[in-house]
Structure 1
Amino acid sequence: MSTWKEKLKRIVTVEPVIFLYMTSTFIVGPTYQQMIITKVCRQLLNDTICKDPEHNKEYQVVQTSASYLLLLFNATLSLVSIPPAILLGSWSDRAGRRSVMAMPSVLSLMGGGLFLAVALVDSMSVYWTLMAAALIGLTGGHVSIFLSSFSYLADLTVGSSSSRTLRMAVAESMIFVGGAVGFLLGGFLEQDVGLQAAFGAYAGCHILVILYIWLWLRDPTMGRVPNKEEKDSQEDTSQVFIVKYAKRSFKVVFKRRSGQERLKLHFLIVCNFLNNLVAVGEQSVLLLFLMYEPREFTTALFGVFNSVRMLLLGFGLLGLFPVLMRCIKEMTLAKLSVVFRIASYILLALSNNTWMVFLVGVVATPAGISQAVIRSLSSAIVAPDEQGAMFSFSASAEATCILFGAVIFNGLYPLTLPTFPGMPFIVMAVFMLIVLILLQWISEMPRTHPRLVLSD
């Protein structure tokens, strides 16, 4: 292999995987939500009201029913995702990262086919979307992509904490860049071409992910030195099974470490959990909230808003973050990021017109920084051969967010709809305030030598 290609393979690694997967996720998110809303409306009301729901009091019933159905969808996705999320990271420490990265896209293709069938066949029940959620979650979904991708980067950046933080920030930015492309593309495809085109684009992204992993990526060898336990497992593969990998993930997170490193890791995992809980809740109710009066967003306008917001979040990580790191400590930047995120949710809750909603995206520009810092600090605490296990535990917590986020926010939204529809976003701001308190607590903990493990 030529030298330039080898260098390029070390520079461009998991970023396209995250970009394509998140593009597909944000294409399909509003699309299946719109499909559920439309099918529920046709079931409860008539086509006349469904085509022109503005200022129709009966449409509130559709909002409530669709919100509860989305709760079931997210609950199914979460419950199915938790077991693989616990297992796959620890398994990837031994078997390699690429296979874990590829599996979610394989089953997402099947889920996309089921979405397409529900959209094409009018007689198919909207509840078939729950089966699609189960298929997508069977290999962990996006949490498996994250745990394998960030473990991959941790392997490549062993011994360089600043390089690790920046590499993870770039990878994290791909979530938002992919979100921008996905929301914009999905919104216009759904409105101008149809649901079928959006689901087709979703499937196309997963095909590209599989081809990229197969043709371009190679498993890194740095930081993956087999220990005695790994050698034994390689000699007797019959003993390598579910309980063993689940136990290893828990062991890595709860093992004793020097100073307050274990407590710091636990706090960081809680911060990661709350960040994802709020993100899931936001996506669960945002479309419903913005389509409701007085905002009355169309699907295309919703796609434009999310694209602008995601591009600004990506700019915050790719543009602002590297510049600010030269003069401000990364933990300080993480706390400032949370403050801006809190402000954006309060503004969103109070928004009653289009320009206020778009201003939310501007205020939230630095909001993605905190998650990149949290991932980097977490990976710095554990040993090189523990990266996958640690990210696996964190990913399993992220998978539960899908369930808890749906229960909290899809359950809360119908209850507050007649009085204050923006209440779920106020609750999100409160959760982010807890993250800010935890980050401040972590920043006041004394620094100790990372990865020094004390015997029990």
Structure 2
Amino acid sequence: MTAIKSLRHLVTVEPVSFLFFTSLFLQNGGGQQFIFYKLCYLEYNLTDVCWNLTLGQKMDQYQDIEDYTISATAHWMIYMNLPLTIPAIFTTICFGGWSDKYGRKPMMIIPAVGFLIMSIFQMFQVLRMDMPLGITLIGNFIAGMSGGFVTITFATFSYIADITTKENRTLRIGILQSMTFSSSIVGLLTSGVIVQNREYGFLLLYCLIALLNILIVVYTQFWLLESIGPNTDPYFQTIRTTEEKETETTSRPSEVSEIECKTCFSDMWSPRNFKIVYRDVMKKRQHFDRFILFLLFVSLFILQMVLAGDNQMFALYAKDSFHLSPAQTGYFTASKNAVLFLFTVLGVWLLRKFNLNEMRCCSLSFIVFLSGYIGFSLAKSESTLWAMLILLSPSGLVGGIIRGAISRTVGPDEQGSIFAAMSSMENLMVFVAAFMFNILYPVTKDILNGGFVYFVMAELLIIPLILTMWVGDLLKYTAAYKYMNEPANIVINPDL
């Protein structure tokens, strides 16, 4: 029993993140193919033609069908993402302040249930091909109101912040972030294999998505220990108490009883939670902590915008400039995520092993990272793209370092609010990137063989490079100030 309990303290939210984002990448990878096939079927009722076009076969005699379906699919992807992501921004902010008082586990169960309901709606779409596609928007809206991946992101990172000390937090956050890269490899490759089956592929895809989210609910309910609230595990409570003693200012909410916790779900969507998040983000802090927090926020948001722009643009850039097939593009994307996963895990281990200066390593990683995008913009062959993966590998590490630094800057009872605000703004940056780079690419595709957008991404990364260097200097100044002006804690042994 002791070994099992120790394992429950060690393996916590990493499986939740892996399972959920695997289901999300299955949805992104195979879901778009299903929408393409369904729209073609609803408009033309040519099952063989629509299936061949879905598989990427080139048929000149049906070019008009392909053109219509591509355009319709692009529009429907926007329609289906809006109810899935926009409500999640506001829902997550509400959940953030709530979770700081009542617990993190509900914030992982609710999004999984929402995605389970969405997958059921999609199963009906597969079973009834004549059903209007718009009905699916109901399931997407339910998933969006449950918080979706935005809530899962803030909940898992907040949980790690609850159960770690400042010394090992960056390591655990880096490992958690690497789950996204590993799940993308599994999700994208698996979805490509599953949808090849014409008879059962799409149904199996959505059944698998449903199964993964059921596993999240079961795992979270019966394995995961609560990190905050009245049901906090004693081991985690010890860590939390230590963190509170080391924190100069805390905003610890009043304790709640277990009965109150069971009757508090009506407060989840309360507008008061917006005020709590705003208060925690904007509150005055000692020394330069609030300014450091803003600098780290801006750095993370620009990083997220660049990464989202890369995800938006690479398939089009690879097709237009290097004539890569969808399969080749998929292999490259999976390989890139594998490299990011390995480098992130290795990087955070080296940081902890040799006690390296995190912000200095972060700034150095930004230099290497933006050099990779410059290489992308100047690439003339596919082999150059593969070579640039080495330079792009630190992108996952910098995100982990920045999130760890943000977590250490705020108090233990502000983690949920801060990560909720952070995740919501990161989600907003995805929309900004989609809007900006999709407008920029068509008008600059003749510059640098289509790579001008990656040159712009490299230029944008100069901003967080400067800001993280600035943060490093401020942290050194703050540490020196504390050393010079605060008395040391001297413990006198009464037995002497």
Q: TM-score under structure 2 normalisation? A: 0.79
Aligned to 1:270: 298
- Pairwise CA distance, 1:7: 0.9
Aligned to 1:95: 102
Q: Is the 8 A contact 1:27 1:198 kept in 2?
A: yes
Of 119-128 and 15-24, the range deviating more from structure 2: 119-128
Whole-angstrom CA distance in 2 between matches of 1:149 and 1:254: 23
> Match for 1:91: what amino acid?
W
Of 308-317 and 332-341, the range deviating more from structure 2: 332-341
Aligned to 1:259: 287
> Match for 1:102: what amino acid?
I
Whole-angstrom CA distance in 1 between matches of 2:102 and 2:460: 37
Counterpart selection for 1:390 from 398, 418, 422:
418
Aligned to 2:180: 175
Aligned to 2:111: 104
1:366 aligns with 2:394: yes
SS of aligned partner of 1:259: coil
| Distance change >3 Å, CA 229–CA 365, structure 1 → 2 | closer
Whole-angstrom CA distance in 1 between matches of 2:424 and 2:288: 23
Residues 191-202 of structure 1: pairs in structure 2 closer than 5 A = 191=196, 194-202=201-209
Aligned to 1:435: 464
- Pairwise CA distance, 1:308: 1.7
Two-structure CA RMSD over aligned residues (Å)? 3.5
5+ residue gaps, structure 2, are 245-249, 483-496
Whole-angstrom CA distance in 2 between matches of 1:282 and 1:101: 28
Counterpart selection for 1:184 from 181, 185, 189:
189
Whole-angstrom CA distance in 2 between matches of 1:414 and 1:43: 30
1:318 aligns with 2:345: yes
Aligned to 2:254: 230
- Pairwise CA distance, 1:95: 1.2
- Pairwise CA distance, 1:121: 4.1
Q: Is the 8 A contact 1:187 1:301 kept in 2?
A: no
Whole-angstrom CA distance in 1 between matches of 2:137 and 2:457: 26
| Count of equivalent residues | 447
> Match for 1:429: what amino acid?
A
Percent identity of equivalent pairs: 28
| Distance change >3 Å, CA 408–CA 191, structure 1 → 2 | farther
Aligned to 1:35: 34
Aligned to 2:11: 12
Whole-angstrom CA distance in 1 between matches of 2:191 and 2:318: 16
Of structures 1 and 2, the larger Rg is shown by 2
1:154 aligns with 2:161: yes
Aligned to 1:141: 148
Of 351-360 and 250-259, the range deviating more from structure 2: 351-360
- Pairwise CA distance, 1:139: 2.0
Which structure has more RCO (C-alpha within 8 Å, separation ≥ 6)?
Answer: 1
Q: TM-score under structure 1 normalisation? A: 0.85
- Pairwise CA distance, 1:102: 1.1
Q: Is the 8 A contact 1:75 1:403 kept in 2?
A: no
Of 331-340 and 179-188, the range deviating more from structure 2: 331-340
Of 14-23 and 419-428, the range deviating more from structure 2: 419-428
Q: CA deviation digits over 1:305-334, x for unaligned, max 9?
A: 222211111111112331255164211222
Q: Is the 8 A contact 1:9 1:217 kept in 2?
A: yes
SS of aligned partner of 1:445: helix
> Match for 2:178: what amino acid?
S
Aligned to 2:489: none
SS of aligned partner of 1:191: coil
> Match for 2:407: what amino acid?
S
> Match for 1:20: what amino acid?
L
| Distance change >3 Å, CA 121–CA 98, structure 1 → 2 | same
- Pairwise CA distance, 1:177: 1.3
Q: Is the 8 A contact 2:91 2:269 kept in 1?
A: no
Q: CA deviation digits over 1:151-180, x for unaligned, max 9?
A: 1111111xx322111111111111111112
Q: Is the 8 A contact 1:114 1:132 kept in 2?
A: yes
> Match for 1:264: what amino acid?
I
Aligned to 1:303: 330
> Match for 2:254: what amino acid?
E
| Distance change >3 Å, CA 375–CA 303, structure 1 → 2 | same
- Pairwise CA distance, 1:345: 3.3
Q: CA deviation digits over 1:348-384, x for unaligned, max 9?
A: 4555654444334333222200111111111111111
> Match for 2:183: what amino acid?
G
